[in-house]
Structure 1
């Protein structure tokens, strides 16, 4: 109870990921081993027009239903009918914890953020439940293939709605980056070395997440009598998913905002390397376009933001996963004397802008992080540096930079006028 005598908001763990077998095993283990925990399993048809849910507790299935939202389901939002189910469970069901399991195409951190800020019939969900942890289920034997897979989710009936054009690699990378906890399994893995490399990839891409591993119990002397419903699996403890209070809504907003902070590189292991490249100089758009193939070779995942010289007002997000590369306009750089624009920015962005402010460039900068296997870091940095403006080009000034040809014009549109 709260000091005022009101019931405390029910904690919710949100579990996503491409490994549906691992996800369902985790759910069974958690509900069997954790008193007072229920599992709300969400499913969405491939066309995104029908969503169903099933509620399980220690005894098995106890409730369920289906609904047809007024518009197709989204990868980052639950339909209102499912939010209403969440509210009802939080208010009346009496569970101590809820594990919300999602379809592979739903992005768990954004679903968690949506739940945190949603209202149902004028009631704030945050008054009745709170997101405790965001988790991702990973099959180590599949991870490297998933991160390199250029197929669309729709090709594997994993898309959420007709407009979901994401690739398998994009979804796999975003699940890892959004997770507070990663739950892994490598049952019947024919290549332990590949699993070790997969763990290294997890450490590099999900660097802020803790990890727990599900194993198949082959040891009769383990001293544990597993319930039949758990299928002979065990993990050290479900507490890794429950009660950690790890979810940080501000961190999720920042990661998906116009100017996300790059990942800090981890130490190389099993051939997996991550490197961070940054520059206060802008990039020459045509030289960058010509070098994209070389830059992305051997890269499994890269993220960050760009400053293109001929677009001095715009922030451009860079995101690659496997064979897929996207460069998108996500906002504008903060003007020096526009107090309203500074107030609209997040506190974290204002802090970094003030710390990194340059009298001429302002907050403008390029920052990218690349992860790959056997990545040639010096060659990659050399290619990126070759795309920057030269001293002679810099001396011409911003007005001249804007006159250069723009190979990204069709994709990015026009740069907004200066303030």
Structure 2
């Protein structure tokens, strides 16, 4: 059975995209309510069945797997040839699709399935708001669990980068340009529902490693796009680390409002650690992503719109935070020293 996956952050957009996909595949739609995962199988617009599976885990991924995988096994053995799995709204494909792909290996539960195209559908009319302003999922009725503190920008940034195909619906030209700046070069963009065809959904096999590479902070790229409506992208790169004290001083400028960003940096006080930087939905987050397998470097990609001075402020902040060439000979005196950033990297302190 060929299995494509659809993700969204908008229930209406999911309905439209699913309707388009229903012309060439059965649809398995998954939703969560307070107690259950709800699965609905439809064919050509007609619902064939609805199953409710009690949620046995607080872990979203575990609950989704326990609900969806047995249904996929039954359909594969029942002769279904093509199926589109419509994920619950605001579920990021990166937490589900690699798991499903892993289960298609020989001897695994889904060995008779092949994961094909991962599609993310987005309203470009809402893209600017959802990506650049702080919109908590809980405020728009999309929180998946009680303590879901994510915002729309966080989900969108990851989903846009991970998906093989972006279905961008709407008329807002700035929003369309913003989507284009965040779309990786090796993915396909569709602007019309009638472009959702069997060839798009089921011909190409999903490459998990490549998709993860697109969203990993240490391997993300600057893709750029049209600038007619004021959207811009900065590709900020250096072999030098951030100065810990100046990072604290200029972090607010580097995470300027009205921007979204992803990337990595290193610190002389933590030279073996990939430090991550992400800005979306009006907020910034710092974390870690393991250790360096290549030479440590600093690389942050920032996308924003035409607000006066924002681009220049971000560029200046990046330059100010970097250690200077004159400081580099003494950089490693920071090793083992208190860099004042333990509250940003609590896992490193354990």
- Give TM-score scaled by structure 2 length: 0.90
Structure 2 residue 327 is matched with structure 1 residue 368: no
Query: Equivalents in 2 of 1:76, 1:106: separation in Å?
Result: 13
How far does residue 18 in structure 1 lie from its aligned partner after superposition?
Answer: 1.2
1:20 to 2, 5, 11: 11
Query: Equivalents in 2 of 1:409, 1:200: separation in Å?
Result: 38
Q: Which residue of the partner structure matches residue 356 of structure 1?
A: none
Q: Which residue of the partner structure matches residue 202 of structure 1?
A: 179
1:390 to 311, 324, 337: 324
* 1:282–1:309 CA contact under 8 A, matched in 2: yes
Gap regions ≥5 residues in structure 2: none
* 2:41–2:49 CA contact under 8 A, matched in 1: yes
Gap regions ≥5 residues in structure 1: 1-9, 187-191, 215-233, 335-352, 354-362
* 1:13–1:242 CA contact under 8 A, matched in 2: yes
How far does residue 25 in structure 1 lie from its aligned partner after superposition?
Answer: 1.9
- The CA RMSD measured in Å over matched residues stands at 2.6
Structure 2 residue 94 is matched with structure 1 residue 161: no
Q: What is the DSSP-based 3-state SS (H/G/I as helix, E as strand, rest coil) of the residue aligned with 1:386?
A: helix
How far does residue 172 in structure 1 lie from its aligned partner after superposition?
Answer: 2.0
Q: Which residue of the partner structure matches residue 191 of structure 2?
A: 213
Label 1:385 to 1:75 Cα distance change in 2 as closer, same or farther (>3 A). Answer: farther
How far does residue 178 in structure 1 lie from its aligned partner after superposition?
Answer: 1.6
Query: Equivalents in 1 of 2:283, 2:336: separation in Å?
Result: 29
Structure 2 residue 207 is matched with structure 1 residue 273: no
Query: Equivalents in 1 of 2:349, 2:342: separation in Å?
Result: 13
Moved more, 129-138 or 203-212: 203-212
For residues 138-171 of structure 1, what are the alpha-carbon distances to aligned partners after superposition, in whole Å with 9 as ceiling and x for unaligned?
A: 1122111111231321233312223432112111
Label 1:77 to 1:370 Cα distance change in 2 as closer, same or farther (>3 A). Answer: farther
1:410 to 336, 340, 343: 343
Q: What is the DSSP-based 3-state SS (H/G/I as helix, E as strand, rest coil) of the residue aligned with 2:64?
A: coil
Query: Equivalents in 1 of 2:98, 2:111: separation in Å?
Result: 14
Label 1:382 to 1:149 Cα distance change in 2 as closer, same or farther (>3 A). Answer: closer
Query: Equivalents in 1 of 2:239, 2:277: separation in Å?
Result: 16
Label 1:329 to 1:127 Cα distance change in 2 as closer, same or farther (>3 A). Answer: same
* 2:174–2:231 CA contact under 8 A, matched in 1: yes
Q: Which residue of the partner structure matches residue 96 of structure 2?
A: 111
CA radius of gyration, larger in = 1
For residues 306-357 of structure 1, what are the alpha-carbon distances to aligned partners after superposition, in whole Å with 9 as ceiling and x for unaligned?
A: 10122112111111102121110221224xxxxxxxxxxxxxxxxxx3xxxx
Equivalences for residues 19-418 of structure 1 within 5 A: 19-31=10-22, 33-34=23-24, 37-45=25-33, 47=34, 49-58=35-44, 60-74=46-60, 78-92=64-78, 94-118=79-103, 123-186=107-170, 192=171, 195-208=172-185, 209-214=187-192, 235-239=194-198, 241-245=200-204, 247-255=206-214, 257=216, 259-334=218-293, 353=294, 363-374=295-306, 376-398=310-332, 400-402=333-335, 405-413=338-346, 415=348
Q: Which residue of the partner structure matches residue 342 of structure 1?
A: none
How far does residue 240 in structure 1 lie from its aligned partner after superposition?
Answer: 5.9
Label 1:274 to 1:384 Cα distance change in 2 as closer, same or farther (>3 A). Answer: same
Moved more, 297-306 or 74-83: 74-83
For residues 1-32 of structure 1, what are the alpha-carbon distances to aligned partners after superposition, in whole Å with 9 as ceiling and x for unaligned?
A: xxxxxxxxx1111101112212112222322x
For residues 263-321 of structure 1, what are the alpha-carbon distances to aligned partners after superposition, in whole Å with 9 as ceiling and x for unaligned?
A: 33335331111111111111111211111111122442100111012211211111110
Query: Equivalents in 2 of 1:406, 1:76: separation in Å?
Result: 38
Deviating 4+ runs (over 6 angstroms): none
Query: Equivalents in 2 of 1:77, 1:65: separation in Å?
Result: 14
Paired residue total: 347
Query: Equivalents in 1 of 2:45, 2:217: separation in Å?
Result: 46
Query: Equivalents in 1 of 2:90, 2:132: separation in Å?
Result: 17
* 1:76–1:114 CA contact under 8 A, matched in 2: no
Query: Equivalents in 1 of 2:176, 2:205: separation in Å?
Result: 21
How far does residue 406 in structure 1 lie from its aligned partner after superposition?
Answer: 2.3
How far does residue 408 in structure 1 lie from its aligned partner after superposition?
Answer: 1.8
Query: Equivalents in 2 of 1:153, 1:414: separation in Å?
Result: 26
* 2:76–2:112 CA contact under 8 A, matched in 1: yes
How far does residue 126 in structure 1 lie from its aligned partner after superposition?
Answer: 4.4
